[in-house]
């Protein structure tokens, strides 16, 4: 039997499981943010970042530059929606067309586009926006978590439901990004250690 990426990777995140998390566990899970991404993505050259993928690769078709740009925009959508719901009375939430963002060339990687946004900006935006949104979530009481906005397609959605969805969304795309990096660079190397005694450094893989 041929081994697949899913045999070597952790399972893809489950939207149902994340939706079922109580608020404290959801906030803790959301705090991971860009740490879900394989850090070696920052070592890739432009050709690798802009590489399109065939369906049979099993890692998603979007180039890494598109994937990270999309994730950055999605975090902005999440933060804006929860702030509106907390502040306004059952606001009608605006839709966004993710495919128009891609086809419009704002992430590059499309024919005729001369835009090539650095992925460092996307990573910084994801990190900062997630931290900004979590600073609000950490202060909400139960009633505020249950406040709702009106999604044009999904109907009433609460702060909890929106936050759980975008928690899953980032992890879902991180799985595909990591699969792409793994395909190009191989497995993540084990961290170097300083010996059995350990040095006490948080960045070291030794025992401490």
Query: How confident is the prediction for the chain on average, in pLDDT?
Result: 90
Task: Using the predicted structure, report yes or no on whether residue 1 has a pLDDT greater than 70.
Answer: no
Task: Please check the confidence at residue 20 and state whether its pLDDT lies above 80.
Answer: yes
Which has the higher per-residue pLDDT, 12 or 199?
12
DSSP character at residue 137: H
- Taking alpha carbons only, the member of 130, 103, 120, 100 closest to residue 30 is 130
Ordered by where they begin, the domains of the chain are 5-185 (1.20.120.450)
The answer to whether 149 and 90 have CB atoms below 8 angstroms apart is yes
Do the bridges between strand 155-158 and strand 148-151 make them parallel or antiparallel, or are there none, so unpaired?
antiparallel
At 106, is the secondary structure helix, strand, or coil? coil
Tokens of 127: 């990190």
Residue 199: pLDDT band with limits 50, 70, 90: low
Provide the 8-state DSSP code for 77.
H
Burial zone of 117 (CB within 10 Å; 0-12 exposed, 13-18 middle, 19+ buried): middle
Tell me what percent of the residues of the chain surpass a pLDDT of 90. 78
**Band of pLDDT at residue 5, cut at 50, 70 and 90:** low
Q: Is the pLDDT of residue 160 over 70?
A: yes
Whether the model clears a pTM of 0.85, i.e. scores above it, the answer is yes
pLDDT of residue 207: 45
Q: Is residue 140 scored above 90 in pLDDT?
A: yes
| pLDDT tens, residue by residue, 88-136 | 999 999 999 999 999 988 998 877 778 889 999 999 999 999 999 999 9
pLDDT at 153 over 90: yes
Distance of CA 104 to the CA centre of its chain: 21
* Residues whose CB is less than 8 angstroms from the CB of residue 28 and which lie 6 or more positions away in sequence, other chains included: none
């Amino acid at each position: 039997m041929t081994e697949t990426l899913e045999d070597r990777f952790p399972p893809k995140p489950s939207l149902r499981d994340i939706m079922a998390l109580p608020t404290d566990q959801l906030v803790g899970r959301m705090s991971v943010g860009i740490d879900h991404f394989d850090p070696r993505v920052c070592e890739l050259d432009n050709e690798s970042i802009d590489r399109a993928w065939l369906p049979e690769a099993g890692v998603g078709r979007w180039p890494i530059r598109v994937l990270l740009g999309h994730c950055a925009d999605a975090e902005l959508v999440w933060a804006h929606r929860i702030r509106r719901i907390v502040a306004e009375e059952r606001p009608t939430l605006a839709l966004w067309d993710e495919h128009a963002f891609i086809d419009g060339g704002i992430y590059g990687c499309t024919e005729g586009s001369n835009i090539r946004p650095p992925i460092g900006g996307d990573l910084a935006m994801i990190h900062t926006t997630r931290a900004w949104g979590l600073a609000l979530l950490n202060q909400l009481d139960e009633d505020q978590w249950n406040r709702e906005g009106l999604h044009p397609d999904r109907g009433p959605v609460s702060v909890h439901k929106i936050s759980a969805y975008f928690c899953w969304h980032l992890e879902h795309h991180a799985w595909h990004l990591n699969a792409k990096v793994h395909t190009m660079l191989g497995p993540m190397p084990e961290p170097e250690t300083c010996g059995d005694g350990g040095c006490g450094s948080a960045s070291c893989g030794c025992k401490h």
